[in-house]
Amino acid sequence: MQEALTDILHEFDHMRHQLEHSRAHVAYLEEAADNNSFLPVKSRHGLMRELSRRQLVSERVETTSSFVYIRLRAIDIIGEELGHLAAQEALKHVAAILHQGLRASDAIGCLGGNAFGIILALAGSETALAKTHDLAVGDSPEEIFGAANRDLLVRRKSGDAGASGGKGGG
């Protein structure tokens, strides 16, 4: 009888550890789904979840927050002229600039492609409009990268030469 009870308690402990592991894994997966895979910002899913959460809080506390949508046509130009990797680097650069210009209470996320969404906590429409002008990063490759645009072109060309050389084609 005591042995059977001990076996049941061990099985209970084993099931409890599995449940803790499963909960930790679910938390990890939720965190991964809420963050962009290559940018230091939230994913579309994470930003929409944050927006919903903040709407509920704003209704309860009666505060105002704003949502800013930013679409960068220059990313498309960079992608067409310099390639996909250059466009990704441009997105990283823009995300860093936008992130630096925000408060810790604000949230930023990539909405896909060349679009970002920003939640400005405790900011009305006038404050949001002013902040949008402060965050302006430009709408051409030159405005986004400045002189670094030439360096990107050089890196891309040398990267292409290495790739074609690796295929045995010279």
What does pLDDT average to over the chain?
79
pLDDT higher than threshold 50 for residue 52: yes
Q: Token digits for 133? A: 């002008």
Domain boundaries, the chain: 1-34, 39-166
pLDDT higher than threshold 70 for residue 151: no
Residues 6+ apart with CB under 8 A from 24: none
- Residue-wise pLDDT tens digits, 84-110: 888 888 888 888 888 888 889 999 999
What pLDDT shows up at residue 25?
A: 93
**94 burial level (CB within 10 Å; 0-12, 13-18, 19+):** buried
What pLDDT shows up at residue 26?
A: 92
Q: Under CATH, which number does the domain 39-166 receive?
A: 3.30.70.270
54 three-state secondary structure: helix
Q: Which of 5-14, 45-54, 138-147 has the lowest mean pLDDT?
A: 138-147
Structural contact between residues 108 and 51, judged by C-beta atoms closer than 8 angstroms? no
